[in-house]
A = this chain, B = another copy of it.
Amino acid sequence: MSKKIQKRNAEASKALIITHAITLFSEKGYAFASMDALAKRSGLNKAMVFYYFKNKKGLYAAVMHKILIQIQSAVLEENKQHSAPREELEGFVRTYARFACKHPYLPSLLLRELSDNGAIVPEVLFTSMKQLFVLFSSILKKGEDRGCFVHTAPMILYFMVLGTLNLMITTKTLRIQAHQEDSEIDTFASGNIDEIVDYIVEEMLRMLVVPNKGDNQ
């Protein structure tokens, strides 16, 4: 039969808390996200938060873990569909970008953590970022080995991609506003995420592709 509607359901409550915590943390940042507010949003008693997650930090760690696992598996999964370095690279950028755009908490939480030596939950953040980086480097490496990419410093390119995407996404409203105030300056205000990715990928390839070997996918 259909699941009966329970008045008590640990998993559901936990999920409810996490869901609202994600938006709350990304809206307000860690410090300004109050657990009272979270309880109110979730429609649960504040004590439940501590019951399930021990303390604020624990909850935050759970939140970060969840979204990092999500982005990680999204990118890793997508990557399986390709084998040519150029496609892999484009897939990496686009998947990350689309995900980040659909879940705008990702860039803001990520930038905040990164700008702060992984202030609140270093380990969680770290392992995830590392895994993505390993994939990214392996794509570049494969390209090099096949002779279609020139040699580069993967860490710098990685941050180039992430930095650009995250900033473009988080500053979207800012850029639109700036363009309205002064239409002279081109803030790429109209660009949607796929156009941005097109641009970035184009630039990346211009950096990477070995001259006169462009067709060597």
A124-164 interface with B by 8 A CB criterion: 126, 130, 133-134, 137, 152-157, 159-160, 162-164
**Does any Cβ of B come within 8 Å of A170's Cβ?**
yes
**Does any Cβ of B come within 8 Å of A171's Cβ?**
yes
> Which of A30, A107, A164 lies at the interface centre, i.e. has the most chain B CB atoms within 10 A of its CB?
A164
A152 near B115: Cβ-Cβ < 8 Å = no
Chain A 23-37, CB within 8 Å of chain B: the 1/0 string?
A: 000000111100000
**Does any Cβ of B come within 8 Å of A207's Cβ?**
yes
**Does any Cβ of B come within 8 Å of A11's Cβ?**
no
> Which of A29, A117, A160, A178 lies at the interface centre, i.e. has the most chain B CB atoms within 10 A of its CB?
A160
Q: How many residues of A contact B (CB 8 A)?
A: 53
A134 to B178 Cα, complex, angstroms: 12
- Chain B interface: which of A12-20, A53-61, A198-206? A198-206
Provided the pairs A133-B185, A185-B130 are in contact, do residues A115 and B159 lie with their beta carbons within 8 angstroms? no
B116 near A114: Cβ-Cβ < 8 Å = no
Nearest residue, chain B, Cβ from A115: B111
Q: How far is the CB of A29 from chain B (nearest CB, A)?
A: 7
**Does any Cβ of B come within 8 Å of A1's Cβ?**
no
B31 near A153: Cβ-Cβ < 8 Å = no
A186 near B155: Cβ-Cβ < 8 Å = yes
**Does any Cβ of B come within 8 Å of A187's Cβ?**
yes
Nearest residue, chain B, Cβ from A108: B115
A61 to B102 Cα, complex, angstroms: 32
**Does any Cβ of B come within 8 Å of A188's Cβ?**
yes
| Residues in chain A within 8 A of chain B (CB atoms) | 29-32, 107-108, 111-112, 114-119, 122, 126, 130, 133-134, 137, 152-157, 159-160, 162-164, 166-168, 170-171, 173-175, 178, 182, 185-188, 191, 196, 199-200, 203, 206-207, 211
